[in-house]
Amino acid sequence: MDILWAVVWFAVLGIVLGVLLAIASKIFAVKVDPRIEEISDCLPGANCGGCGFSGCGALAQAIVEGKASPNACNAAEDDSIEKISGIMGISNEGRVRMRAQVMCSGTYQHAVKKYLYEGEQDCIAAARLGGGDKLCPYGCIGLGSCVSACKFDAISIIDGVAAVDYHKCTGCGACTVSCPKGTIKLIPYDSKHWVGCEAADKGAAVRKYCDVGCFGCKLCEKACEFDAIKVVNNIAAIDYTKCTGCDKCVDACPRNIIWSSEAQGNGLIITRTKE
């Protein structure tokens, strides 16, 4: 008899809870916009966070709600952006393809170290110990926080400075956030020249840090006919919208740190030395 009651009561309990859940799922049904799903499918799905949202799903929702533009994802292919614009029924505004650029030339041979670091192989950990082992407070620490932040496997460390593989870089910007020095910047993909240094200290100080630091001599500024390169705060910076890629500043730089890139096929060929 006890067993019978047990069976009956548990059947009742199960059915009641089941019915309650079924009713609740009707009452509390949330309509999800089907476009969110469609847009999610067009996004790369790496959840890199470069767009400023917590992941691709969050961006898809923001696009549908009109809080983000269909071209907000830097990592997506151009035809994916086209497709997303189609789903949203707005015309594709296009966007400038960006790439990550490490603004430091201070490899092992050039940058002076102030101590020997033997801790966790992580830039953020090293940056807490007096700002890293390089004397230069602006340069790449070279322990690869950006390497692990990159969802596309595009960064590697070469001679103590991070280098970006431009075939793989999607310009998502995740590495720029991960770098404790802020040495990685997003620049337009087809920028011909950039200054491979961020040292905003007086020339005399920079000379002590590094063989290849910018000491703000302004020779590049004088050489430029297009007003595109300016020395501000002791550091040269290029205005990528004005730069025509004439190579004059490259020839003028005594430190040889104005880098150049040449489009070749799908990728870029990066050169630093004057030829």
Partner 1 sequence: MFGDILVLMLSAVLIENFIFSRFLGCCPFLGVSEKPDTALGMGCAVIFVMTLASAACNLVYNFILVPFNLEYLYTIAFILVIAALVQFIEMFLRKAVPSLYNALGIYLPLITTNCAVLGAVILNMQKYSDMARGQSFIFSVLFGFFAAVGFTLAIVIFAGVRARVEYADPPKCFKGMPIALVTAGLIAMAFSGFSGATIG
Residue 269 is a binding residue for partner 1 (CB under 8 A):
no
Span 58-97, contacts to partner 1 by CB under 8 A: none
CB of 83 to partner 1, least distance (A): 27
Q: Kindly report the backbone phi and psi dihedral angles of residue 258, in degrees, each rounded to the nearest multiple of 5, phi listed first.
A: -90, 110
Residue 124, CB half-sphere, CA atoms under 13 Å: how many? Answer: 9
State yes or no: residue 6 binds partner 1 (CB under 8 A): yes
CA 59, 50, 140: angle at the middle one, nearest 5? 170
Least Cβ distance, residue 2 to partner 1 (angstroms): 6
Burial environment of residue 19 by CB neighbours within 10 A (0 to 12, 13 to 18, 19 or more): exposed
Nearest alpha carbon to residue 175 among 144, 145, 146:
146
End-to-end CA distance of the chain, in Å? Answer: 98
Determine the interface stretch with partner 1 among 11-19, 94-102, 201-209, 223-231 (rule: CB under 8 A): 11-19
Mark residues 14-33: x for contact with partner 1 by CB under 8 A, - for none: x--xx-xx--xx-xxxx---
Q: Which residue, 20 or 158, is less far from partner 1 as judged by CB?
A: 20
The residue (of 78 and 120) whose beta carbon lies closer to partner 1 is: 120
In one-letter notation, the amino acid at residue 199 is: A
Nearby residues of 174 by Cβ (< 8 Å), 6 or more positions away: 48, 49, 50, 149, 150, 151
For 227-245, b where at least 16 C-beta lie within 10 A, e where not — what string? Answer: ebbebeebbbbbeeeebee
16 or 158: whose CB is closer to partner 1?
Answer: 16
Among positions 45, 91, 97, 119, the unique one binding partner 1 when judged by CB under 8 A:
119
Please name which of 194, 245, 255, 202 lies closest in space to residue 224, comparing C-alpha atoms: 245
Q: How many chain residues are in contact with partner 1, going by CB under 8 A?
A: 23
> Which one among 128, 168, 272, 274 touches partner 1, defined by CB under 8 A?
128
Range in contact with partner 1 (rule: CB under 8 A) among 84-92, 115-123, 159-167, 174-182: 115-123
Binding site for partner 1 (CB under 8 A): 2, 5-6, 9-10, 13-14, 17-18, 20-21, 24-25, 27-30, 119-120, 122, 124-125, 128
